[in-house]
């Protein structure tokens, strides 16, 4: 949908020290597809406005909208959304947008491989929540790369959802591991990806999201493992 719409923040949830989820009530919200994003615009008292695009975190079956924002210290919008905004505050929403990096349960009858780096897990979480809400039996697998457990967005929910027999969750910690992890922290490489994704001959459709260098590396590893380029969908942010 084009055009800006008035919206109000219904609740704010702390995900990590740097990330918050905003539950947003948008009058007439028609819903979204898992993997889409919205533009969020904030307005200062002097009339100055700033906007940024954020991935939708809520399930496609939800009747409301939630976005999860990771603070960028030099950002223009994210520090306000993470540190200042409160329930009852107003903002403007435009969207949802995006039609390539989406998962629609009735369109793809094949395994789904998700790979997220840092806050790149947000649109993937929308897919996971949609998958769970529908009790869909499509095999899902998530590889989540993050610096430390404390920076893992949705960590407790992912640990809980991993009990679903149709969802496997694999973790890669690059700087600090959970207590009792049994292995030192390490960065992802081809060998680690090979052991944590569906094999190429499974016919899996891959979704990769994160900072640009992470996405490029992960996509190249999937190509090395035999994934066809047409089966790798990417969403990236940053330079």
Question: Which pLDDT value is given to residue 151?
Answer: 96
Q: Is the dihedral of CA 232, 98, 15, 140 positive or negative?
A: negative
Give me the mean pLDDT over the 173-199 stretch: 94
pLDDT for 209 beyond 90 = yes
Q: What percent of the chain has pLDDT over 70?
A: 97
Query: pLDDT tens across 116-130, in order?
Result: 999 999 999 999 999
54: exposed, middle or buried (Cβ count in 10 Å: 0-12, 13-18, 19+): buried
Question: Which pLDDT value is given to residue 182?
Answer: 86
Helix (H) or strand (E) holding 186: none
| Cβ neighbours around 123 below 10 Å, total | 27
Q: DSSP letters of 57-72?
A: -S-TT-SSEEEEEE--
What are the CA-CA distances from residue 227 to residues 103, 204, 216, 239 (Å)?
18, 8, 14, 25
Q: Return d(Cα 197, Cα 112) in angstroms, integer.
A: 10
Q: Where do the structural domains in the chain lie, given as residue ranges?
A: 5-97, 112-237
Q: How confident is the model at residue 238 (pLDDT cuts 50, 70, 90)?
A: low
pLDDT for 239 beyond 60 = no
Question: Which pLDDT value is given to residue 2?
Answer: 62
Architecture of the domain whose range is 5-97: Beta Barrel (2.40)
Contact yes or no for 69/13 (Cβ under 8 A): no
Query: pLDDT tens across 55-110, in order?
Result: 999 999 998 899 999 999 888 999 999 999 999 999 999 999 999 999 998 766 79
Least confident of 4-8, 80-84, 179-183: 179-183
Query: Rounded to two decimals, what is the model's pTM?
Result: 0.95
pLDDT for 38 beyond 90 = yes
CATH code matching the domain that covers 112-237, chosen among 3.40.50.80, 1.10.645.10, 2.40.240.10, 3.40.50.10950: 3.40.50.80
Least confident of 2-11, 43-52, 119-128, 202-211: 43-52
Examine residue 46 and say whether the peptide bond preceding it is cis (omega within 30 degrees of 0): no
Give me the mean pLDDT over the 171-177 stretch: 95
Query: pLDDT tens across 134-156, in order?
Result: 988 999 999 999 999 999 999 99
Contact yes or no for 70/14 (Cβ under 8 A): no
Closest C-alpha among 161, 91, 92, 93 to residue 126: 161
């Amino acid at each position: 949908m084009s055009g800006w719409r008035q919206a109000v923040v219904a609740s704010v949830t702390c995900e990590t020290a740097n990330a918050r989820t905003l539950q947003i009530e948008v009058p007439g919200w028609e819903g979204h597809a898992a993997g889409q994003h919205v533009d969020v615009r904030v307005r200062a008292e002097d009339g100055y406005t700033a906007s940024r695009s954020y991935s939708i975190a809520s399930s496609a079956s939800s009747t409301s909208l939630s976005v999860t924002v990771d603070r960028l210290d030099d950002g223009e919008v994210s520090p306000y959304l993470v540190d200042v905004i409160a329930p009852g505050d107003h903002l403007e929403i435009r969207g949802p947008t995006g039609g390539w990096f989406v998962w629609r349960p009735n369109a793809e009858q094949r395994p789904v491989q998700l790979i997220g780096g840092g806050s790149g897990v947000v649109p993937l979480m929308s897919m996971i929540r949609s998958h769970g809400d529908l009790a869909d039996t499509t095999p899902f697998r998530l590889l989540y790369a993050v610096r430390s457990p404390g920076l893992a967005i949705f960590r407790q929910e992912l640990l809980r959802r991993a009990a679903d027999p149709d969802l496997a969750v694999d973790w890669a910690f690059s700087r600090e591991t959970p207590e009792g992890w049994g292995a030192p922290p390490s960065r992802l490489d081809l060998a680690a990806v090979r052991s944590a994704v569906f094999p190429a001959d499974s016919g899996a459709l891959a979704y990769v999201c994160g900072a640009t260098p992470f996405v490029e590396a992960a996509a190249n590893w999937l190509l090395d493992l035999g994934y066809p380029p047409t089966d790798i969908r990417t969403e990236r942010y940053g330079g």
